Structure formats: structure tokens, C-alpha cells
Chains A and B, each alone.
Chain A
Amino acid sequence: MKVTQLSVFAENKPGHILAPCRLLAEAGVDIRALSLADTQRFGILRFIASDWQAASKLLEEAGFLVRATEVLAVEVPDHPGGLAHVLSAFEGSDINIEYMYAFPFAREERAVLVFSFDNPDAAMERLRAAGIAVVERDELFAGIVSR
């Protein structure tokens, strides 16, 4: 399914990633998955939080630039070839991956891949056709809740 991801703009300077992370930590927001895209000039902190609306509000009120976007979370076996299997679903299509990141799932031996596609609906169709599981939002946070 589509999962809401938050992105925060950060200058590429020491300490600029810490501030938003600390803010979320102090408010008790769980971050399930996180990636930092950086260039020489700036960085984009992307993450999936337990309560994205609350996290977004919190960050915006603190003056951060936040953007909510939909991404696809895909579950794969955490062993060699797992990623290649998923990517092969898009072979021969003109669907473009804008970016992706991976994190280990709460369940054992599984990993979750987070994708941003230029055409998410077409991508979802392809995944379904290939029999690849798209992770539901609740599942994503199941591990945390049970802890």
C-alpha cells in the first residue's frame, strides 16, 4: 500500500539533522524507517513515522520545512536476490524509481523496501501482478507496537 513519508529540508552543515530528530524523539514519535539523501549543497531527511500528522505538525511549528508524500513499502525476504526479485517486476516498463531505501522488518528474515516511483499506481499494478507483497501501514508499525 501507499505509506505517507515525511521529508525535511536540511542544509548540509554539521548538526542540521540532529535538530528535527531530537524534536521527534522528545515528543515520543517513533521513526520506523529513515533515509538521508544528501548532496554537496543540502540534504533531505526522509522518514516514516508512527503518527505522521502529529510529526508533521510538530516539525512545521518548529519552523522546519516538511513535505508529506506517498511512497510504496514492499516486503521482501531478507536474503540475497530479494531486491533483484522486486526490481525485476518493473523490467520492460517505463516506470522510474526516483529513490528507494531499505530497512529490516520487525519480523525476522524480512526486509522492507521503500520506493518512490514517478508513477506509483502503475508500479503497484506491476507488483501485484508479480505477486509481491505490498506492506500495509499497520503491519509496518506492528513490531513497534508489540514491543
Chain B
Amino acid sequence: MLAQTEDCTTPATPAVQPAFQPASAPDYVPRPLLEELQFHRLRAVVERAWQRVPLIRARMDERGIVPDDIRSLGDIARLPFTDKTDLRDTYPFGLFASPMRDIVRLHASSGTTGKPIVVAYTGADLNVWSSVMERAFAVCGLHESDIIQNAYGYGLFTGGLGAHYGAERLGATVIPISGGNTDRQIMVMRDFGVTAVCCTPSYFLHLLDRAGELGVDLRGLPLRAGVFGAEPWTAAMRARIEKMAGIRAFDIYGLSEIIGPGVAIECECQNGLHIFEDHFYPEIVDPETGAPLPEGCEGELVLTTLNKQAMPMIRYRTRDITALMPGPCPCGRTLRRMRRISRRCDDMLIIRGINVFPSQVESVLLEMEGTLPHYRIILTREHGLDQMEVQVEVTARMFSDRVGALETLHDELADAMERVLQLRTRITLVEPRTIPRSEGKSQRVTDRRSS
């Protein structure tokens, strides 16, 4: 409830719900004002990138445009795209627009090869990040009295720290438990009276299964909300989670290249994710041609950071397929919504919230073996938890009459995979010519995970 001032003669306006958070105010800015703000920020960020990032400047030069050519929001379509290969090609710091003395944090996420991509934040960027995460929690109806168990991994992955600082800024009590150790998660959830949890939806399903085995019924606990993200999930998964845990399950969207979690969030209507448009400008384009698509059309989400300092991203191709939803949301927020991400237009796999590219697997095999053996990736879900198996056809070069040599090879492959993918994989050495040969790379992946 908003505090009433002495000169306030009328009660709070009906639009202000009892759970209204001051932090949520930017969610309700009238569209014309919002668009004006977006335009000014776009001009500034393009200017900054053009002046400080050689790759952006070269791309704009190629198109014969300068920052002054951006005269309306619609002119954004004249700007060149950025994509993940640009981050790889300029590894590690090539897209930074701030000197290292102004940068206060680095994170990293999966690249398409053995090297990760690196993202940077100034103090102001971290402030923006924690503010959008605070707003995301507020949209989910969380507030300073909530006890939030943050089971996203803490570390180079943006999930853990992103959610952490947002929850702290909200004034909630944060339990920085990080990922893993499910039995301890359940104990903490029960003993500490946790009211909200953040993790990947598949991990929460695993936690639910384990709680069932331990005889803990989450429906009897104070837990009332889950903020789930870092991987696509289905309506069926949501229904199962909400029924089994007795909570509301909200979808959160974000990516390290843009900021981390906190780009978009579902409101109580659970019908599309509101994009924090005052910081991230969304476009939908044809994934093949890059041509902008009208509102409502399904295509690839392209995002521009409107006021990132350390690493402005101009028209970043997310490879996520969605659509911008026309019309206002019944919740009253003016922020546009995008449909839940259902799939991607590249071969990226999301396993336990970790992004994995088959090309990373290939880079490990190539490095270890000199040539690329035939391989196959098999994804399964065991007890609610994603498992990744890499089957590798043994080649003459790898084969030995000594068991120890093959065991060593196996262990080295598993360790190298874990180093590069940040994920423990099961390596299976298989006989030659047993993996089906196929043309397309996508055939290298067999996904047996269902809901």
C-alpha cells in the first residue's frame, strides 16, 4: 500500500493494486512517453557504439550511415545486426565500449566453439540489471517480505548474480543457495519458510520429484511463486509445476549478451512476457532474410540495449523464435509482450539451463583426436533432470589393446567436455559405423526429453 500523504484527499487510484511496488512505475509509462524515451536512448547508444566499437563503426560505414541518420525509432531497421559470431570473432573484449577501469564485472556464457563469449558491465549497467530484475520480481507479485531461494547457479553464468541483486534490491530476503544439492534445497525451502524460488523449470521438476520421494509436500509450505527461466518450457510443464507445488509459475527471459535474466517477465495474466522496453528494444525479423516483420508475426527476436555502457548491443540476433503480441495486457502495464519462447532458429541446445552448441562438442573432439570422429548427442530426462550423452565412434587412432588407455581416453573426453560445456556429459565409446550417417548437422542430436 502506498503511504498516504497529508494533502492527499482521495484514496489510492483503483489502478494501484495493494501489491503495487514503486519499482514498477516504469512498467506503466504511457506509450508516447515511452517511445520518446526509447528514441533518445537509442540515439545515445548508437552514438556510443559508433564512437567506441570498431566493429559497429565499420558495419555502419559499410551501410553509409552515421548516428545522425537515426531520426525516428523506425530508423533502427537501417542499423546493422550483431550476432554471436561477432562476439566470438572479437573474443574476449572486442565489443567493449568502456575502458577496463570503468568495467566492474565480467560474465561469460557459451560460445559456439570452445571459447566462451564474454560480457561486461559498468557500475551503471549493474544498476540497470538489478533494477530490471527487481521489477521482474515485482511483476510476479513478490515484495520485501518474501524469502527468495535463488537456485540459479552463481558464477560466470548470469542467472545467479542477476537474480540475487534484483531480489536484494527488492528488499526481499535472499537465500543464495545456488544450483544443485537437491536434498539441501528441499530442507532449506521447508525449514526457512521460503516463499519464492528461482531456478530452471526442469530443475524445479526434479526438485518436486525428489521432494515427493522425501515425503515433503510443497503444497503445505509457504512457497507461493516460482520464477523460472534460462530454458524454454511448455504449458504442460507449467500446469504440472503449479498443481504439484501449489504455486504460481512465472516465465522469465533474458540472455547474457543483452544483460542476463530480466529482459522480459510474465505478469499475473501469464499470457506473454512483458519486455522491459525502456531498456531493451525488441524487433521481430525473418530469421532467413533479416527483414523486419509486423507485430503479431512469428520470427526471430532481435534486441537492442538502449542504455548499456560497457557493451552496447545493436540489433542482436537472439536466435529465439517468438512474436510480439498486439494490444494492451489486461494487467495495465504498457510494456509490450512477447510470446513465450518455443524454439530457436539455430542448433543451440539448452540443457539444465546451460546453452550448448553441437559445435562446442565438435571442438572438443577435434582438439582431442585431431580429426572429427562420428558422434551423436542424445538428450534424455532422468528423474526430471536433463542428461546429455555423447556417443563417439572409436577410431583406429583412439583404439588400444589396453583397457587403461581407453579408460583414460574416456575420462579425458568427459573432463574436456565438462571444461568447455560447463556440463557433465556421459561419454559412450561405440563401435565404428554404428552411428547413423546423415547430411544435416541437426541429425547429430537426438532429443528424447519430453515435457
CB distance from A72 to the nearest CB of B (A): 13
Question: Chain A at the B interface: mostly helix, strand, loop or mixed?
Answer: strand
Decide if B401 touches A65 in the complex (CB within 8 Å). Answer: no
Q: Distance in Å from the Cβ of B435 to the closest Cβ of chain A?
A: 12
Count A-B contacts at CB 8 Å.
52
User: Cβ of B404: which chain A residues have Cβ within 8 Å of it?
Assistant: 98
Which stretch of A2-10, A21-29, A78-86, A102-110 is in the interface?
A: A2-10
Residues of B within 8 A of A67 (CB): 396, 399-401
Determine the distance from Cα of A10 to Cα of B402 in the docked complex, in whole angstroms. Answer: 13
Q: What 0/1 pattern do residues 25 to 63 of A give for CB contact below 8 A with B?
A: 000000000000101011010100000000000000001
Of B403, B428, B429, B430, the contact of A99 (CB 8 Å cutoff): B403
Is A98 touching B431 in the complex (CB atoms < 8 A)? no
10 CB < 8 A contacts A-B: A5-B401, A11-B430, A16-B431, A42-B406, A42-B429, A44-B401, A65-B394, A98-B404, A99-B401, A99-B402
Interface positions of A (Cβ within 8 A of B) = 5, 7, 9-11, 16, 37, 39, 41-42, 44, 46, 63-65, 67, 69, 98-99, 116
Residues of B at the A interface (CB closer than 8 Å) are 394-396, 399-404, 406-407, 410, 428-434
Closest chain A CB from B376 CB (angstroms): 14
| Contact (Cβ within 8 A) A41 B429 | yes
B374 to chain A, nearest CB (A): 12
Q: Which of B430, B431, B434: most chain A Cβ within 10 A?
A: B431
Contact B399 A41 (CB under 8 A): no
Q: Given known contacts A9-B394, A67-B396, is B431 in contact with A44 (CB within 8 Å)?
A: no
| CB neighbours of A65 from chain B (8 A) | 394-396, 399, 431-432
A56–B403 Cα distance when bound, in Å, is: 20
The smallest beta-carbon distance between B398 and chain A, in angstroms, is 9
What is the CA–CA distance of A5 and B399 in the complex, to the nearest angstrom? 14
Question: In the bound complex, how far is the Cα of B401 from the Cα of A46, in angstroms?
Answer: 7
Is the beta-carbon distance between A9 and B431 smaller than 8 angstroms? yes
CB neighbours (8 Å) of B410 from chain A are 41
Q: Looking across the interface, which residue of chain A has its beta carbon closest to that of B405? A: A98
Interface of B is mostly: loop
6 nearest CB pairs, A to B: A7-B401, A63-B433, A69-B401, A65-B399, A37-B403, A65-B432
**A16: B residues at CB distance < 8 A:** 431
Enumerate chain B residues within 8 angstroms of A116, measured Cβ to Cβ.
Answer: 401-402
Q: Is the CB of B406 within 8 A of A44?
A: yes
Task: Give B426's nearest chain A residue, CB to CB.
Answer: A41
Given contacts A41-B410, A41-B429, whether A98 and B402 have CB atoms under 8 Å apart is yes
Using CB atoms, name the residue of chain B closest to A37: B403
Nearest CB to that of A63 among chain B residues? B433
Whether the pair A41, B428 counts as a contact (CB closer than 8 A) is: yes
**A146: min CB distance to chain B, Å:** 29
Complex contacts, A63 vs chain B, CB 8 Å: 431-433
- In the bound assembly, the distance between CA atoms of A64 and B394 in angstroms comes to 10
Most buried by B among A5, A7, A39, A65: A65
Residues of B within 8 A of A10 (CB): 431
Partner of B407, one of A9, A11, A39: A39
Contact B403–A39 (Cβ < 8 Å): yes
Contacts A37-B403, A65-B431 known; 17 new A-B pairs at CB < 8 A: A5-B401, A7-B401, A9-B399, A9-B429, A11-B429, A11-B430, A16-B431, A41-B428, A41-B429, A44-B402, A46-B401, A63-B433, A65-B399, A67-B399, A67-B400, A99-B403, A116-B402
A99 to B402, CA, bound (A): 8
Interchain CA distance A125-B404 in the complex, whole Å: 25
Shortest B356–chain A CB gap in Å is 22
Contacts of A64 in B (CB 8 A): 431-432
A16 to B430, CA, bound (A): 11
Measured CB to CB, the closest approach of chain B to A15, in angstroms, equals: 12
Distance A9 CA – B434 CA, assembled complex (angstroms): 12
Across the interface, which residues of A come within 8 angstroms of B430, CB to CB? 11
Contact of A44 among B395, B396, B403 (CB under 8 A): B403
- Nearest A-chain residue to B396, judged by Cβ: A65
Q: How far is the CA of A64 from the CA of B434 in the complex (A)?
A: 10
Nearest Cβ on chain B to A70's Cβ, whole angstroms: 10
Among A5, A39, A46, A69, which residue has the most Cβ atoms of chain B within 10 A? A39
CB distance from B238 to the nearest CB of A (A): 38
Closest to A42 in B: B429
Contacts of B432 in A (CB 8 A): 9, 63-65
Which of B394, B399, B402, B428: most chain A CB closer than 10 A? B402
- A58 CA / B433 CA spacing, docked (Å): 16
For B431, the closest partner residue in chain A by CB is A11
Residue of A nearest to B395 (CB): A65
A63→B431 CA distance, assembly (Å):
9
